[in-house]
Amino acid sequence: MPSESRMTQHLDPRSPWVISTHDLGKRPGTMRQMTLTLPAPADLGVDMIGVPKDAEVELDLRLEAVMEGVLVSGTAQAPLAGECARCLDPVSSEIEVDLQELFFYSDEDASEEDSLLDGELLDLEPTFRDAVVLALPLSPVCREDCAGLCTECGVKLAEAGDDHRHEKIDARWASLQGLITDKDNDQEK
Ligand SMILES: [Zn+2]
Ligand SMILES: [Zn+2]
């Protein structure tokens, strides 16, 4: 059943992530390689880490015309910035993700979740965004063996030294110890 076009809003050709497929001329088998550097979109990340807005994203893409549309595949590399999940120090690293998306010419061939071309234009931002969010580490760490923070006092264990520890006193004995301390000033350490 022919449905009304889902593309109610037309893509803005000036948007950096909107790519023209004009060169492919809708001829199946036509291919084009391209390398691009694009500014990262805003709000791309999870709680602890993400790609900073406007950071340089390096794309290595292959656009290929197929019967139903244009197949985009390739890789994207982007810098990451965030916080160590254990010690809260700043963390910076890099991420590389694989991209693959078929952009359909017509929504008659496509299902609800599929991407569509808007004329000769496609918007690669949602594809990039989804790939990055899936690949982000849930608990980024500044280094694999980051010792994190002391659960008792919150001091950074890497700086506090190996002998940092607290005398553990069972809450039930704490009040008794108070009594002993009152009586005995020569309390052992
Ligand atoms: Zn850390
Ligand atoms: Zn401590």
Say what the pLDDT of residue 132 is: 97
Q: What does the DSSP assignment read for 124-168?
A: -HHHHHHHHHHHS-SS--SSTT---B-TTT--BHHHH-TT-----
pLDDT score recorded for residue 17: 97
List the shell of residues around ion ligand 1, using CB closer than 5 Å: 84, 86-87, 89, 142, 146
pLDDT at 178: 60
The residue range of the domain holding 52 is 18-135
CA–centroid distance, 78 to ligand 1, in Å, is 21
* Domain-embedded: residue 157: no
Residue tagged 């039930």 (tokens): 172
pLDDT, averaged per 10 consecutive residues of the chain (189 residues), comes to 56 94 92 97 93 97 96 98 95 96 92 92 96 93 93 90 79 62 50
In a domain, 145, yes or no: no
d(CA 99, CA 59): 9
Residue 7 lies in a domain: no
Q: Which ligand is nearest to the CA of 152?
A: 2
Distances from the Cα of 161 to the Cαs of 84, 90, 144, 147, 148, in angstroms?
Answer: 19, 20, 18, 10, 12
Is 99 part of any domain?
yes
**10 domain residue, yes or no:** no
Is 159 domain-assigned? no
Write the burial class of residue 83 (CB in 10 Å: 0-12 exposed, 13-18 middle, 19+ buried): middle
Q: Is residue 101 part of a domain?
A: yes
- Indicate whether 118 belongs to any domain: yes
Please tell me the distance from the alpha carbon of residue 161 to that of residue 165, in angstroms, as a whole number: 9
Q: Cα of 69 to ligand 1 centre, how many Å?
A: 46
CA 92 to centroid of ligand 1, rounded, Å: 11
Token representation of residue 83: 């916080």
Token pair, residue 41, equals: 């979109």
Number of domains observed in the structure of the chain: 1
Ligand closest in space to the Cα of 83? 1
pTM: 0.79
